[in-house]
């Protein structure tokens, strides 16, 4: 389950074609995105409805999902 969520949340970063859109984000913004991507204490995913990004505390998310599935 975690692998699937991680896959969905990072999919656009890994598939992004840098040669097409070099000026969309600055280097500092790309570094910030990479720092978020590598942070193991958070979980990044898509919202249920609409476009955007949702950032969860990983421990809180796992606890809530465990309670829901129990």
The answer to whether the predicted template modeling score (pTM) of the entire model surpasses 0.75 is no
Output b/e per residue, 41-63; b: 16+ Cβ within 10 A: eebbeeeeeeeeeeeeeeeebee
pLDDT for residue 48: 84
Strand positions, DSSP E, the chain: 42-45, 54-57
pLDDT for residue 9: 64
Residues 13 and 45 sit within 8 Å (Cβ to Cβ): no
Rounded Cα gap, residues 9 and 30, in angstroms = 16
pLDDT for residue 16: 61
What are 7-63's pLDDT values in tens digits? 666 666 666 666 665 567 778 888 888 888 899 999 888 888 888 888 899 999 999
């Amino acid at each position: 389950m975690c692998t699937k969520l991680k896959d969905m949340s990072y999919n656009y970063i890994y598939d992004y074609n840098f040669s097409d859109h070099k000026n969309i984000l600055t280097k500092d913004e790309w570094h910030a995105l990479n720092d978020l991507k590598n942070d193991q204490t958070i979980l990044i995913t898509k919202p249920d409805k609409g476009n955007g990004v949702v950032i969860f505390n990983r421990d809180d998310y796992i606890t809530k999902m465990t309670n829901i599935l129990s």
